[in-house]
């Protein structure tokens, strides 16, 4: 089963458990809200799942749109947040194909909150290049990832995922043409270590 199929089969369950802003850690809200305040221009929530972060950013007054490759998620997002725009699509389609919107190449910010975690490490350079190409010059990318001592896969509840040493991810971002401007780590009781990286298109 692919990652998309695995999420599709459990989309409503995921949305019921994790698809509201109230279910999110206050520190994550602060991180995403303060990042968005500094972004100039429209924000793309790439791998938006049930769309709660997109809708939250829109409610705060940002121009925000979500994409996700799982049609079931996009349907839930559209139903739950009728005033917000969502499209079915993956990172690979960001700068071409059906997702080539008026904003392709000119997003002020891209949020990839835990949406890179299921990619094989070898896929990251191409995907980061896509994310970079989706951004305007000096546009900002915010990544949320599971932080690990080593790069290793683990049995995530929905589909296999990867732990990334945050420094390794930072180096990949630099190699892909970003300047990493912030790297924060956090360990919450009972949760896997978390890291958030902000990187600007060089």
Ligand X SMILES: C[S@@+](CC[C@H](N)C(=O)[O-])C[C@H]1O[C@@H](n2cnc3c(N)ncnc32)[C@H](O)[C@@H]1O
Residues forming contacts to ligand X in the complex (CB under 6 A) are: 3, 7, 18, 46-49, 53, 68-70, 73, 90-91, 113-115, 118
- The minimum distance between CB 5 and ligand X, in angstroms, equals 10
Structural contact between residues 99 and 87, judged by C-beta atoms closer than 8 angstroms? yes
- By beta-carbon proximity to ligand X, the closer residue of 137 and 155 is 155
Q: Please report the sign of the dihedral spanned by the C-alpha atoms of residue 50, residue 54, residue 59, residue 65.
A: negative
Between 68 and 147, name the residue whose CB sits nearer to ligand X.
Answer: 68
Nearest residue relative to ligand X (C-beta): 49
Minimum CB separation from ligand X for residue 3, in Å?
5
Report the alpha-carbon distance of residue 55 to residue 104 in Å, rounded.
20
- The alpha helices in the chain, defined as continuous H runs, are 3-9, 11-18, 26-38, 52-59, 71-80, 124-134, 166-175
Quick one: 126 or 179, whose CB is closer to ligand X? Answer: 126
Residue 124 or 180: the one with the smaller Cβ distance to ligand X is 124
Q: CA 46, CA 60: separation in Å to the nearest integer? A: 18
Q: Which is nearer to ligand X, 94 or 180 (CB)?
A: 94
Closest distance of CB 150 from ligand X, Å? 21
Find the shortest distance in angstroms from Cβ 190 to ligand X: 17
Give least dist CB 180 to ligand X, A.
Answer: 20
- Nearest 5 degrees, angle CA 105-CA 78-CA 16? 115
Q: Is 157 exposed, middle or buried (0-12, 13-18, 19+ CB in 10 A)?
A: exposed
């Amino acid at each position: 089963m692919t990652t998309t199929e695995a999420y599709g089969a459990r989309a409503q369950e995921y949305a019921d458990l994790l698809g509201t802003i109230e279910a999110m850690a206050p520190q994550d809200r602060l991180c995403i809200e303060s990042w968005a305040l500094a972004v100039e221009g429209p924000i793309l929530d790439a791998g938006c799942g049930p769309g709660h972060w997109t809708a939250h950013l829109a409610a705060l007054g940002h121009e925000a749109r979500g994409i996700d490759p799982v049609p079931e998620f996009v349907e839930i997002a559209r139903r739950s947040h009728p005033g917000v725009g969502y499209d079915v699509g993956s990172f690979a389609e960001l700068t071409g194909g059906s997702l080539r919107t008026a904003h392709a190449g000119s997003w002020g910010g891209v949020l990839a909150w835990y949406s890179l975690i299921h990619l094989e490490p070898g896929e990251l350079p191409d995907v980061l290049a896509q994310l970079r190409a989706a951004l305007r010059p000096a546009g900002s990318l915010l990544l949320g990832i599971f932080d690990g001592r080593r790069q290793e896969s683990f049995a995530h509840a929905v589909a296999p995922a990867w732990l990334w040493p945050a420094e390794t991810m930072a180096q990949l971002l630099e190699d892909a043409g970003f300047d990493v401007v912030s790297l924060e780590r956090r360990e919450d009781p009972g949760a896997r270590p978390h890291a958030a990286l902000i990187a600007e298109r060089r």
